[in-house]
With several copies, the nearest count.
Chain A
Amino acid sequence: MAQRGSVEISPRGGGEKRADSCPACGAPMDAEELAANLRVCPACGHHFPLSAGERIELLADQGSWEEIATELRSDDPLGFYDLRPYHERVEEAEYETGLSEAMLVGTARMHNMDVVLAVMDFRFMGGSMGSVVGERFWRAAELAAEARYPMVAVCASGGARMQEGMLSLLQMAKTTCAVEMMASVPVPFVATLTHPTTGGVMASFATLADVIVAEPGALLCFSGPRVIEQTVKEKLPEGFGRAESNLEHGQIDMIVPRRELKDRLVQVLGMLE
């Protein structure tokens, strides 16, 4: 089932549309310079999103990534149609990202440590969690538990994939059971929360990790700012839901700049093994 080799990065380099200037500080951006800086604004440190491929490149030792569960694809159990059919949306996401789903799972080495990686990509339908994301996470957890490899999940998600109805919501229960499976060994499970991680992912495996790491500035919440403003008409405080606010409110262990992320994850995993 494993497929050796490094991940396909889409022709555009794997990110979403490249901005011409930094949205945080307004500094003009050179795409190549930005890429060379791990897509962190050299002027202000703003962390631009990474694609799943870029994330794997960042974390996995060169050539060590072996994807599993590659053949899993979304079905359309509800025959869901809104303004467009679900399958059309999936196909479009596949085409635009070059990915098979919003999460890739597999094994890799990080500084020579064997790990299981589960990496989400927000570009794939907003990183929404449907049946395939849930099943891939399950298989990753199963592999981690069996091989006694620690797991690193990198989260980026808008929540449940509405087009799969309750089946998508239930992926919260499924991934929770998967985390419990790792805990019963135990193998260490560390989550890295990147911008944005919200909804069902934030309310299941992401916050169940032994250690929770976040990238600077990442929006991390269950209900997003727009929902809060529209539903309960509350004014949002400055920095609401950001990694920094989560740290202060005791919800995460640490904020790690992207440049230090791999080293830090390896240190943490090394100490928990």
Chain B
Amino acid sequence: MPSGLFGKKKRALQEEEGRLRRRLAELSRLPTLPGVHLKDEVAKISQRLRELGRVRGRGEGASWEKVKLARHPERPYALDYIGLMFPGFIELRGDRCFADDPAIVGGLAAYQGRTLMVIGHQKGRDLASRTHRNFGMPRPEGYRKAQRLMRLAEKFGIPVLTLVDTPGAYPGVAAEERGQGGAIATTLACMARLDVPTVAVIIGEGGSGGALALALADRVLMLENSIYSVSSPEACASILWKDAAEAKLAAEALRLTSSDLEDLGVVDEVLPEPRGGAHRDHAAAARIVKEALEENLRQLELMKPDRRRRERCGKFRRMGVWRENGLTLF
């Protein structure tokens, strides 16, 4: 959540930006009438928007740049982080029901003399591994495996770390028939109930409900160049702009970058990446994640399970912005 003057100022700039963009959109819809010259206003607004962009740390198309970085094929994936952070990681597989879903990996990691349960979406890098990992798009059995591992972690008092990186849950007929919606929902419920500390890190693409399913955590951290979005910019553009090619516009509008989401109070902490992005230096990225994990776990482990659970639910209860009796609540 934004706090103090800094947050208020950010919000004011944000509101101004929104106002200007809406006006720009209105202008663009006006029919061209003889004698009416909109060019000046358009130019003025565009100028101010560029200024605001600089102030808020992004130029035009900055969100789209983040989308490309978040999807960068050399960006470290869950198993890269796991390999670098947790030597001796033991993968546990299967939902005990239908299948093992390679789009979600999970297992036990030795960590500072204790154990962690690490669960993450997993993409592939070459054609074979991409196909094997289904491009990081889980089916219901992936979510059910995640739940099984979370319950196992809870049984033995093991904290849970999730690594979020998926375009979204797989939109296929069989996945639907096996209850994709319910699988995501019950994973959310499982995370809401857990009485062990939970930390989620958005490491790449946080795509829609398929990503959120692993991110109902005590702490939600986000790597600087990751994105986290209600829908892919492409899908959003094709629905709202009726044109997938407007993905760049949608990327900006959706506020899916780490700094946007920090402003909105959606993530608790943004983790800086190595210069140029995590793909330039996997080891450094892993060190950054590990340090943040350490600090957050340290804090969480001081709390009683009840309080942790209460605060977790309290945090998600506060998500959202609405007006009530004239007041805007955030």
Indicate whether A and B are direct neighbours in the complex (CB within 8 Å): yes
In Å, the complex CA distance between A77 and B242 comes to 23
Within 8 A of B (CB), among A155-206: 160, 162-174, 176-181, 183, 186, 188, 199-200, 202-206
Instruction: Check A253–B93 contact: CB distance below 8 A.
Output: yes
Within 8 A of A (CB), among B261-313: 261, 264, 266, 312-313
How close is A151's CB to chain B, nearest CB, in angstroms? 14
Could you tell me the distance between the alpha carbons of A271 and B228 in the complex, rounded to whole angstroms? 32
Is A177 within 8 A of B97, CB to CB?
no
Interface status of A106 (Cβ within 8 A of chain B): no
Q: How far is the CB of A200 from chain B (nearest CB, A)?
A: 6
- Nearest neighbor of A272 in chain B, beta-carbon distance: B156
Which of B177, B181, B193 is the one whose CB lies under 8 Å from A180?
A: B193
Q: Which listed segment binds B: A56-64, A82-90, A91-99, A116-124?
A: A82-90
Complex: chain A residue closest to B261, CB-CB: A166
Instruction: Give chain B nearest CB distance to A104 CB in angstroms.
Output: 15
Let me know if B110 and A271 touch, CB within 8 A.
yes
Partner of A249, one of B108, B152, B178, B236: B178
Instruction: Knowing A160-B230, A169-B230, A251-B182 are in contact, say whether A83-B317 is a contact too (CB < 8 A).
Output: no
Question: Does the CB pair A167–B212 fall under 8 Å?
Answer: no
Binds A, one of B20-28, B35-43, B77-85: B20-28
Q: Which single member of B108, B230, B323 contacts A74 (CB below 8 Å)?
A: B323
For chain B, the bracket of interface size reads 35 or more
Please classify how large the interface on chain A is, using the bins under 10, 10 to 19, 20 to 34, 35 or more. Answer: 35 or more
Q: Is the CB of B98 within 8 A of A165?
A: no
Q: Does B55 contact A (CB under 8 A)?
A: no
- Cβ proximity bits B45-59 to A, threshold 8 Å, 1 near / 0 not: 000000000000000
CA distance A179 to B185 in the complex (A): 11
A169 touches B320 (CB 8 A): no
Which A residue's beta carbon lies closest to that of B265? A167
Question: By the criterion CB–CB under 8 Å, are B180 and A79 in contact?
Answer: no
Give residues of chain A (240-271) contacting chain B, Cβ–Cβ below 8 Å: 240-241, 245, 247-254, 264, 267-268, 270-271
Cα of A49 to Cα of B231 in the assembled complex, Å: 27
Please give, as numbers and ranges, the residues of chain B lying within 8 Å of A138 by CB-CB distance.
Answer: 317
Known contacts A174-B317, A210-B152, A132 near B322 by CB under 8 Å? yes
Interface flag for A131 (CB, 8 Å)? yes
- CB of B212 within 8 A of CB of A170, answer yes
A207 within 8 A of B: yes
Say how far B105's CB is from chain A's closest CB, in angstroms: 12
B181 near A179 with CB under 8 A, answer no
A170 touching B173, Cβ below 8 Å: no
Which A residues are in CB contact (< 8 Å) with B322?
Answer: 72-75, 131-132, 135
Contacts of A11 in B (CB 8 A): none
Q: B255 contacts A78, CB within 8 Å?
A: yes
Complex alpha-carbon distance, A199 and B236, angstroms: 14
Contact A222 B231 (CB under 8 A): no
A180 and B266 alpha carbons, distance in the complex (Å):
21
Task: Assess whether B3 is interfacial by the CB under 8 Å rule.
Answer: no
Q: Smallest CB-CB separation from B111: which chain A residue?
A: A271
A241 contacts B179, CB within 8 Å? no
Smallest CB-CB separation from A171: which chain B residue? B320
Verify if B17 is at the interface (C-beta below 8 Å from A).
yes
Which among A205, A206, A268, A271 has the greatest number of chain B C-beta atoms within 10 A?
Answer: A271
What's the least CB distance linking A176 to chain B, in Å? 4
Complex contacts, B164 vs chain A, CB 8 Å: none
On whether the beta carbons of A210 and B155 are closer than 8 Å, the reply is yes
Q: How far is the CA of A76 from the CA of B322 in the complex (A)?
A: 8
Which residues in B have their C-beta under 8 angstroms from that of A165? Answer: 229-230, 253-256, 260, 264
Q: Which B residues are within 8 Å of any A CB, using their own CB?
A: 14-15, 17-19, 21-22, 24-26, 29, 88, 90-101, 108-110, 115, 141, 145, 152, 155-156, 158, 169-173, 175-182, 184-186, 188-189, 192-193, 208-209, 212-213, 215-216, 228-231, 235-236, 239-242, 249-250, 253-256, 260-261, 264, 266, 312-313, 316-317, 319-325, 328, 330
Q: A169-B212, A270-B110 known; 16 other A-B pairs, CB under 8 Å?
A: A79-B17, A83-B25, A132-B320, A135-B320, A167-B320, A173-B192, A177-B216, A180-B192, A188-B156, A202-B181, A203-B169, A221-B180, A249-B100, A250-B179, A253-B93, A272-B115
A-B contact pairs, 7 of them (CB 8 A): A160-B231, A162-B240, A171-B319, A181-B313, A251-B182, A268-B90, A272-B158
